[in-house]
């Protein structure tokens, strides 16, 4: 199986997008390649996502990716986006985040609060229970947490 991420990253970046996540698996009996992209500093609209999907599709066809049928889905990360790389955490410093750790840290596995730092080895989240240092290798999953009241006010303005 080809390394899809290595295959599509240059195409995504050349189009001015950032690759957030790539997953390939079975869903409801068919194979689905799901690619999540973002455009730093700019909102993504349907035209931008369609442009990214077209470029990725062309590249995958040229490289002969995946024999047999599969469905390609290209989307934005949405308001509550996953955080995977150190650069993701650095970009969202000051944001509300939810981090799930592989094991217990201070007797807790789910850590929600403000992301206050993202160093070389770990992040620090200011939770209601105090600041928690969580090593990157200890992070099972992480995402930003939307302030839904603010989002609703913004959409109604």
CA dist 141 → 48, 73, 83 (Å): 27, 22, 8
Q: What is the pTM of this model?
A: 0.69
pLDDT at 41: 76
pLDDT for 1 = 47
Q: CB within 8 A of 118, min separation 6: which ones?
A: 86, 89, 90, 93
86-149: CATH topology is SH3 type barrels. (2.30.30)
What SS3 state is found at 33?
strand
Domain extents in the chain: 4-75, 86-149
Q: Check residue 157 and give its pLDDT.
A: 61
Other C-beta atoms closer than 10 Å to the C-beta of 69 total: 7
Choices 3.30.300.70, 3.30.1780.10, 3.40.50.1820, 2.40.50.100: CATH for 4-75: 3.30.300.70
Per-residue pLDDT of the chain (157 residues; tens, 9 = 90+): 468 889 899 999 998 888 888 888 888 888 999 999 988 777 788 888 898 899 999 999 998 887 678 899 999 888 888 898 898 899 899 999 999 999 999 999 999 999 999 999 999 999 999 999 999 999 999 999 987 766 566 666 6
């Amino acid at each position: 199986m080809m390394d899809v991420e290595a295959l599509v990253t240059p195409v995504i970046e050349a189009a001015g997008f950032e690759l957030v996540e790539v997953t390939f698996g079975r869903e409801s009996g068919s194979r689905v390649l799901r690619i999540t992209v973002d455009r730093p500093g700019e909102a993504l609209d349907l035209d931008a996502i369609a442009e990214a999907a077209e470029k990725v599709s062309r590249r995958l066809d040229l490289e002969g990716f995946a024999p047999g049928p599969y469905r390609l889905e290209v989307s934005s990360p949405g308001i509550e986006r996953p955080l995977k790389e150190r650069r993701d955490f650095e970009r969202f410093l000051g944001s509300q985040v939810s981090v799930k750790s592989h094991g217990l840290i201070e007797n807790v596995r789910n850590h929600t609060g403000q992301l206050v730092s993202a160093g070389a080895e770990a992040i620090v989240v200011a939770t209601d229970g105090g600041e928690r240092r969580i090593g990157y290798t200890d992070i099972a999953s992480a995402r930003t947490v939307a302030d839904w009241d603010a989002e609703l006010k913004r959409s109604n303005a």
